[in-house]
Amino acid sequence: MVKTNDPTIVLLLLFGGVMLLLYGVRLVTDAMERALGARLRLAMMTLAERPFAAFVTGVITTVLTQSSSATASVLVGLVSTQLVPLAAAAIMLQGAAVGSTLVVQLLAFHITDYALELLGLGAAVAIFTDRSTALRPIGRGIFSFGLVLVGLAMIDASSAPITASPITKAVLETLSSSPVILTLTGTILAIVFVSSTATIGLVLVLAAGGALPLSAALAMTLGANVGTTIAPLLTALNRGSITGRRLAFIYVGTRLLGATVALFVLNPLTALLHSLPLSIAAVISLFHLGFNLLLALLFAPLVNQIAQLATTLLPEPTSTQKSGARYLDSAALSVPAVALGQAMREILRMADLAAQMLQLSIHAFEDAGKDIPKRIAQLDDHLDEIEIAIKRYLTQLDTNSMTQEQARREIVLLYICTDLEAIGDIIDKQLMRLVKRQRRKQIAFSNEEWNDLATYHGETMSLLQQALAGLASFDSMVANDVLLRRTSLTQTKRELHLQHLHRLRSGAASSLDASAIHLEVVNAMSSVISHTCSIARAVTGEF
């Protein structure tokens, strides 16, 4: 690229180069996420149990996406939803930090000369490949990396005039005597850029052009390694999961501790590296790689102890009851298989709440059950909150990234979610209304009436439990058994109704008011049975 001394052109080159660098890094990450994001997340979950495999997974994930911040944010989400253990995620983060050094290694070998070739190759692959294949986003990734190199070339073209500026020399002389300020500068740049790769790439090009001395470049590199931890930290704080915060605490803590120790030995280390027969760009990239590798080697044997320390310093909140959804992670929306699994976990929580409500409902008609309506109202509010969260979550799924089977499963889950919410409303709005009427009018059931209600409630409860067992494993055989039982329960309802009418006609019923409540309770439970069978049909796929 042609170099110039015109101040306006120099500033435009620097600004444009930085913007292209940032935009290119972001496009690379987005493109590779589209191409490989689902596979990479599944690999994280699958390989989490083996430390070395977890480390390698972190390296490969970040090599492909070129964003350790993105990898860290994904891991915070997976840890928050208990899909990856804390210690395994911490090891993956160390691997991610090592993986983020690859592009910096490439930049040290002056590959900016091939920027146009990469732009052309990436554009050709993106334009001439089928939209449904993974090649198109890979082509976009190659094109985006070409943009990164163009941005670096523009920064390089502006570096010589900047170096020659008296103002630059004065600033650098002041900063060179304060490595802490230089480290903070690197940290701030990494936070603003949301990328240590972009920050170190900028430092590397400026140092290679003579705008930064080696000591300043190394200090800013340390700062960039700390600054890259802030994005996942913010993700953890926003997500509200204590486990995710522990992971972010480990990530920030290890980077900060490593950078602090390195600052104490920076001067002798700079002298040692300066004596190597390497270009300044190669020295910076080697330092970046060495820092992350050494930190990973020191961290790995102590990972369980560090995870335990994080757990001790950040204990579970005193109140662990959470009224809303627990497992819905927005980071998983780009991976339908994971997102659907998380939605299923919440639906099983809804199922448990509905079963609790039905179990309690019959006891509300007894003298000892005065507090039950209030408890059921609380459970129904809880159930409604989860239902709203699930529906909002599932409707955010990208239909273009789902298989036909996944799209069908999404509809099934939404269908089941609606039925569970309806069961909760029947119990809270209908049965508890009847309880209040019974108490207000001081109505007592006869022994026969009570036995009929208890029997029908027991049958309804048994059917719901069987349906929920089929739901938990999506077992169509169990669901079919539920549907077969409906005929006998319909007959039971008819018999109970006739028996009650005979008692009423013979004068054996306790009262007309008790009779009305008795029949309405049976009808409400029959509605619960209908929604229970609807859940079973959804499991069998016949809804």
Give yes or no: residues 210 and 359 share one domain.
Answer: no
Q: Does residue 323 belong to any structural domain of this protein?
A: no
Domain closes at, from 253, 284, 313: 313
Residue 320: what pLDDT? 43
Residue 484: what pLDDT? 92
Q: Does residue 326 belong to any structural domain of this protein?
A: no
Q: Does residue 324 belong to any structural domain of this protein?
A: no
Q: What are the backbone dihedrals phi and psi of residue 529, each rounded to the nearest 5 degrees, phi first?
A: -60, -40
CB atoms within 10 A of CB 520: 15
Give yes or no: residues 289 and 337 share one domain.
Answer: no
Give yes or no: residues 112 and 209 share one domain.
Answer: yes
Domain closes at, from 313, 342, 375: 313
Give yes or no: residues 193 and 306 share one domain.
Answer: yes
Give yes or no: residues 278 and 157 share one domain.
Answer: yes
Q: What is the pTM of this model?
A: 0.60
Q: Does residue 419 belong to any structural domain of this protein?
A: yes
Written as one string, the DSSP assignment of 385-450 is HHHHHHHHHHTTS-GGGS-HHHHHHHHHHHHHHHHHHHHHHIIIIIIHHHHHHHHHTT----HHHH
Written as one string, the DSSP assignment of 258-275 is HHHHHHHTHHHHHHHHHT
Region 269-276: mean pLDDT is 88
Give yes or no: residues 39 and 108 share one domain.
Answer: yes
Query: CA quadruple 354, 358, 359, 363: dihedral positive or negative?
Result: positive
Residue 100: what pLDDT? 81
- Residue 446: which pLDDT band, with cuts at 50, 70 and 90? confident
Domain closes at, from 285, 313, 341: 313
Domain count within the chain:
2
For 465-485, how does the pLDDT look when each residue is reduced to its tens digit (9 = 90+)?
A: 999 988 988 888 889 999 999
Q: Are 262 and 249 in contact (CB under 8 A)?
A: no
Q: Does residue 325 belong to any structural domain of this protein?
A: no
CA–CA separation, 63 and 58 (whole Å): 9
Give yes or no: residues 307 and 347 share one domain.
Answer: no
Range of the domain at 91: 7-313
Q: Does residue 372 belong to any structural domain of this protein?
A: yes
Give yes or no: residues 492 and 381 share one domain.
Answer: yes
Judge whether residue 282 has pLDDT over 80.
Answer: yes
Query: Domain containing 357 — which CATH number?
Result: 1.20.58.220
For 283-342, how does the pLDDT look when each residue is reduced to its tens digit (9 = 90+)?
A: 998 999 999 999 999 998 888 899 889 888 888 765 444 557 777 877 677 678 778 888
Give yes or no: residues 25 and 161 share one domain.
Answer: yes
Give yes or no: residues 291 and 372 share one domain.
Answer: no
Q: Does residue 395 belong to any structural domain of this protein?
A: yes
Q: Does residue 319 belong to any structural domain of this protein?
A: no
Give yes or no: residues 383 and 280 share one domain.
Answer: no
Give yes or no: residues 359 and 260 share one domain.
Answer: no
